[in-house]
Amino acid sequence: MNPLQRYAPLVDDEEAFLEACERPLPSVVRVNTIKTTVERAREALDDEGVAYEQTDWHPGILKLEDSTAGTNWPYFHGWLHGQEEVSALPAIALDPQPGERVWDTCAAPGSKTTQIAAMMNDEGVLVGNDNNLGRLSALRHNAERLGVTNLVVTNQDARNFSMKPFGEQTPEKPGAFEQFDRVLVDAPCSCEGTCRKNPDVLDEWTMNHVQSVAGIQKGILRRAVQVTKPGGSVVYSTCTFAPEENEAVLDFVLEREDCELVEWDVPDAFETSPGVTEWEDDEYDPSVTKARRVYPHQNDTGGFFTAKLEVQS
């Protein structure tokens, strides 16, 4: 059975959902405002004869009509970065500010990390972590191409992330800190929502994998809350539809850490659905409805899940 069929009870139009999952994804780029402006990037594409359409919910997200992201000079110069449209949501929910201390727990290959850096105006401290040493080379490459300078790269298991390298503040270490202002947990997952660009994920799907990765997700999200200052924000996101990896993870952490789910400003022109409070034999905290689900047929994107938590103490 197609694993996507298990989510029929969650969608408003099963046929449209399944049909959308079979279509290839549009080619999309994000304008890198560290190096240029949206206007200059659009002029460069016009001069190159590259056809594109500006999305109606984000001026810096452009859909290329007849070409792929890496085949034009604005891309090579770091003005553009190939990024799936829906994956821009977590950074928008996080809303990082210039000068803050931000941790991206699972950063490689760096699309969301570099988006966060741009939103910070490349100011402050951005820690990009990944437990896969091989993937960190892609993170470094993308950061360098896009002109990011406020990035610190670490190679740790996010579930046991140590703040010791950042140390206590002393005259010799005036920039040291012990907690983050904001944290993004774009967690490893079963990746069902990427089936439009990688259909193999459906052939390789197993319930055992969903259950095993959910344990990892819970550990990373708990640690993210623990290292975030009171009043700080943690955004949790996945590219899967499975409630076991989404609402169930939130429910688990809400019971064990001092945090609460909060609303976040979803762009008006971008259609989403609320998190679900029941799935099969399980019930979740009512506040999980503040999370946002994105199904491929709603905006012609991949599938996604994004939630925002506020740390209490």
Which pLDDT tens digit goes with each residue over 12-30? 999 999 999 999 999 999 9
Non-local CB neighbours of 66 within 8 Å, separated by 6+ positions: 50, 51
For the domain made up of 3-20+92-311, the CATH class stated in words is alpha beta
Residue 252 parent element (H or E)? helix 247-256
For residue 184, which of 228, 249, 250 has the smallest C-alpha distance?
Answer: 228
203 with 211: CB under 8 angstroms?
A: no
Q: What is the pLDDT of residue 73?
A: 93
Give the span between the Cα atoms of 251 and 16, in whole angstroms: 29
**Residue 291 annotated as lining a ligand binding site:** no
Q: What is the pLDDT of residue 47?
A: 94
CB burial of residue 49 (10 Å; 0-12, 13-18, 19+): exposed
Q: Do domains 3-20+92-311 and 26-83 have the same CATH topology?
A: no
Q: What is the pLDDT of residue 248?
A: 98
88 with 58: CB under 8 angstroms?
A: yes
Give me the count of residues in the chain.
Answer: 313
Q: What is the pLDDT of residue 66?
A: 80
**Residue 197 annotated as lining a ligand binding site:** no
Active-site residue, from 191, 195, 239, 259: 239
Domain boundaries, the chain: 3-20+92-311, 26-83
How much is the pTM? 0.96
Say which DSSP state 173 is in: B
**Residue 108 annotated as lining a ligand binding site:** yes
Strands 228-238 and 304-311: antiparallel
What values do phi and psi take at 22, rounded to 5? -90, -15
Is the preceding omega at residue 109 within 30 degrees of 0, hence cis?
Answer: yes
Residue ranges for the chain with pLDDT beneath 50: none
Residue 283 parent element (H or E)? strand 282-283
Q: 80-106, pLDDT tens digit by residue? A: 999 999 999 999 999 999 999 999 999
- Per DSSP, what are the bridge partners of residue 260? 310
155 with 140: CB under 8 angstroms?
A: no
What superfamily in CATH does domain 26-83 come from?
Sun protein; domain 3 (3.30.70.1170)
Q: What is the pLDDT of residue 168?
A: 66
Q: What is the pLDDT of residue 70?
A: 79
- In the annotation, is 259 catalytic? no
**Residue 109 annotated as lining a ligand binding site:** yes
